[in-house]
A and B are shown apart, each in its own frame.
Chain A
Amino acid sequence: MKPFAYARAGDADQAVAEALAPQARFIAGGTNLLDLMKLQIETPAKLVDITRLPLGGITPRDEGGVSIGALVPNSDLAADPRIIADYEVLSRALLAGASGQLRNKATTGGNLLQRTRCYYFYDTATPCNKREPGSGCSAIGGVNRILAVLGTSEKCIATHPSDMAVAMRALDATIVTQKPDGDRRRIAIGDFYRLPGDTPQIETVLEPGELITAVELPPKVEGARHLYRKVRDRASYAFALVSVAGVVRMDGDVVASASLAFGGLAPMPWRNPAVEAAIVGKPATDANFAAAADALLADAKGQGSNDFKIPLARRTLIASLRELTGK
């Protein structure tokens, strides 16, 4: 690990002030950042320890819904009775990720910002545009079994590995931040992540030193069914090859509302309104489910060893919709 300066912040103002230093990074659970620092993939000059900030609560909002503090551990969030009752898809997604030990440390903010598991990103002996802009992408034409089929660019085909973020995308979460100048922002999760384009090293719209303070969820969808289905190489403790987060409300045999987000397929938790439009207001039939899968995968591009993800995503979506609609 490269040497770094360490500062402990007591509140958000102090944290963002400390983070103004060049190459400063916040550290929360540390389960992703320290992993990458040991390999010198991340080499911050300064770590700002935010674990003492008072951002560990889950509170109801006046407008309905909840506000989840950026430091709420993944395990506590998954087990929270209000989350289980109103946002089961979020509990399920969290419980499908990592291990008991990791979830005890991993935080809401850190989970959103965890970085890709692309093998070449981790292997500092190989070119990688995300790790070293301009060096090239070893995964294109290389071993890319776990990588993306949607939203990729010629510079990077990495996936975002979070399960939690996929559920939050289906739940229309809003990310609340504080900037170094004290300004606060509320960013819809759909606007939070950036596609790789020519700059795969830039993954979100956060500015340097901008602190996530909370994630807000809107009021629950009454009478909806929730599902998180994760397909992976082993039954536990593995990242998603494909995952589906769904919240669907039925009106008799007709799909009254649906929100669907996807993991393992793209550089960000993926959502495409055309997928939902293919089933909303229509009877829950396999033909409509197939149309939803067509909409999801119309622009999908396999890279060789990840070609299997395209039929896998189709089948996983259709199976998920059958379950969500009680078919």
Chain B
Amino acid sequence: MKFNINGKTHDAEVDVRTSLLDLCREHLGLTGSKKGCDHGQCGACTMLVDGRRINSCLTLAVMHEDSEIVTIEGLGQVGDLHPMQDAFVRHDGYQCGYCTPGQICSAVGMLGEVEKGWPSHASADLTAVELSDAEISERMSGNLCRCAAYPNIVDAIREVAGKGDRQPVLEAAREIGA
């Protein structure tokens, strides 16, 4: 089978049972994407497939022979970081770092969704999307962080989205009805 990952063609003979995540980690040496739960519950395995963020643990490699796959390795490398990687580093958007590749791929895919005008559960008006902190939290809820680096993750994403300063905590809390 042939796969297009991070702009390169990879050949691999794998069992049809192999998930896209295991293909990358176990067969192609792309160990940036992480396995947290292997059941779609944590987001650590998030990759961008044909421009969409998905859980790579819940899809079969064989179903993606003709897809364009981007993993954290393909987003950027040391010395040439993607703006989202750079922002996570500067805002300290992690502690142990295990969830981070998934958080970053998810955040990049998520901002693409916002650009397309896709609403979320946090949108009062489904036709006018404003990326508030409550929106970022809702849209990133598929990425769990055991270290709870959430505030800094939101800071990093807000910066890349060009939304400037942290919202006053109280205002953000009111928005989510807390």
Contacts and interface: CB of A to CB of B under 8 A. Distances in A.
Interface residues of A, number: 35
Nearest to A34: B58
Contact of B126 (A1, A47, A88): A88
Interface string B35-57: 00011100100100000111100
Contacts of A34: 19, 58-60
A96 B117 CA distance: 17
Interface stretch (A76-84, A195-203, A302-310): A76-84
B142 A100 contact: yes
A101 B54 contact: yes
Contacts of A135: none
A31 B116 contact: no
Contacts of A35: 39-40, 58
Contact of A99 (B38, B43, B117, B118): B43
Contact of A27 (B63, B106, B176): B63
Interface residues of B, number: 39
Interface string A268-290: 00000000000000000000000
B59 A237 contact: no
B141 A105 contact: no
B138 to A, nearest CB: 5
Interface of B: 15-17, 19, 38-40, 43, 46, 52-55, 58-60, 62-63, 106, 109-110, 113, 116-121, 123, 126-127, 137-143, 176
21 contacts: A6-B62, A31-B58, A35-B40, A47-B16, A51-B63, A78-B118, A79-B116, A79-B118, A84-B127, A96-B121, A100-B53, A100-B109, A100-B142, A101-B40, A101-B43, A102-B55, A104-B53, A104-B109, A105-B55, A236-B137, A237-B142
Given A6-B60, A47-B60, A100-B110, 14 more contacts: A4-B17, A29-B59, A30-B58, A31-B59, A34-B58, A51-B63, A79-B118, A95-B121, A100-B113, A100-B140, A100-B142, A102-B40, A102-B142, A235-B141
